[in-house]
Amino acid sequence: MELRPEQLASQPASQALVPVYLIAGPETLRVLEAADAVRAKARAEGISEREVFDADGRDFDWNQLDATFNAPSLFSARRLVELRLPTGKPGKEGAEVISQFCANPAPDVILLITCNEWSKAHQGKWADAVSRVGVLSVAWAIKPHELPDWIERRLRARGLRADRDAVQSLADRVEGNLLAAAQEVDKLALLSDGETLDLERMQALVADAARFDVFRVLDAAMNGQGAQVSRMLAGLRAEGEAVPALLGMVVMELQRTAALARVSARGGNIASEFKAQRIWDSKQPMYRRALQRHDARRWELLLAQAGRVDRMAKGREAGDAWVALERLLLAVAEPRALRLLSVSAG
């Protein structure tokens, strides 16, 4: 069975879980929300045991996944087994393990497979096997002309109403970034007075929410989107924001990522560190991408650079704090931008 991610997320409570779900596609938010819906459904059905496998490299042991399908549940009658397959390509061995599970699903296991990449070329025999006994849900990228309708549906789901000009204004602001659009809609739900939003009201509320934009800047930096970093910082500066007001969140994010990098460098359990840092599942792919761009030493250097930005903002060191902040976040986003910093990139 094939379902759109939104259909999967809105299935009625009476709809029982199927043995396997494959949720894949380049639109990360749609993948995450559909997967969250499966997890929530599992909890509602009394499934408290969850195992997660990250098949993000050639050294992944598929025998370990196969073994867990046949192992008895320790704490509950059923388990949710999650397989994170970023490339959407399990290889010959992985495809065989998944296909065998689909041919004879373990009665106490619900298998949830998520992939960050997907195309028609990915859909081989193993994906067909999933479709026969479970759900295949592909989160294709939202096209520019589809974004206003997507935003309007999201607004309605939050109990909001907006006219077409207001919706288009929000679509123009987020420039195709679904996560940013979702964040804006959530903020509007908090700020709106319940009346239909026209263009003027939409623009006023979005402006009132400008203080939240530091989160979007940080997400852009961590996701490697240098052009968006520069554009957003320019907007914040034009709106009269001050560097010290932004820097606290920047430092906290760099400290968090540096801690993750240290654990990764010594071969520690990165999943446990995510939990210790209270980083949601939906945010973890962003951190993993950032960790691939810089090693632990570089994250420490970037954190030291944040200290220089702070001294500039307080007049204790010469330099333009806005320029220094932009260079810092560009270096987070793009390793080649490290040369812009006055510290050695190593």
Q: Averaged over 103-107, what is the pLDDT?
A: 88
Q: In this predicted structure, what is the pLDDT of residue 213? A: 66
What 3-state DSSP class applies to 13? coil
pLDDT tens track for 270-324? 888 888 777 777 778 889 999 999 999 999 999 999 999 999 998 899 999 999 9
For 130, 228, 252, the CA distances from 17, given in Å and listed in that order, are 14, 40, 39
Q: Which domains does the chain have, with CATH numbers?
A: 5-138 (3.40.50.300), 144-197 (1.10.8.60), 221-340 (1.20.272.10)
Q: Averaged over 133-143, what is the pLDDT?
A: 89
What 3-state DSSP class applies to 187? helix
- Residue 167: CB atoms within 10 A of its CB come to 22
Q: Which residues contact 156 (CB under 8 A, 6 or more apart)?
A: none
Q: What's the count of helices (H) and strands (E) in the chain, helices before strands? A: 16, 5
pLDDT tens track for 147-200? 999 999 989 888 888 989 989 888 887 767 787 788 888 888 877 777 888 888
Angstrom distance (rounded) from CA 242 to CA 322: 9
C-beta separation of 9 from 34 below 8 A = yes
Q: Which residues contact 119 (CB under 8 A, 6 or more apart)?
A: none
Please provide the average confidence, as pLDDT, over all residues in the chain. Answer: 85
Using CA atoms in the order 163, 166, 170, 171, what is the torsion angle rounded to 10 degrees?
60
pLDDT exceeds cutoff 70 at 209: no
Q: Averaged over 231-260, what is the pLDDT?
A: 86
For 11, 91, 136, 157, the CA distances from 3, given in Å and listed in that order, are 10, 25, 6, 19
* 229-233, long-range: CB < 8 A, 24+ apart: 229/326, 229/329, 229/330, 229/333, 230/326, 230/330, 233/322, 233/325, 233/326, 233/329
| Single pTM value for the model | 0.59
pLDDT exceeds cutoff 90 at 20: yes
Pick from 139, 61, 150, 72: which is nearest to 106 by CA?
72
**Amino acid occupying residue 316:** R
For the ranges 60-69, 183-192, 249-258, which has the lowest average pLDDT?
Answer: 183-192
Q: In this predicted structure, what is the pLDDT of residue 309? A: 93
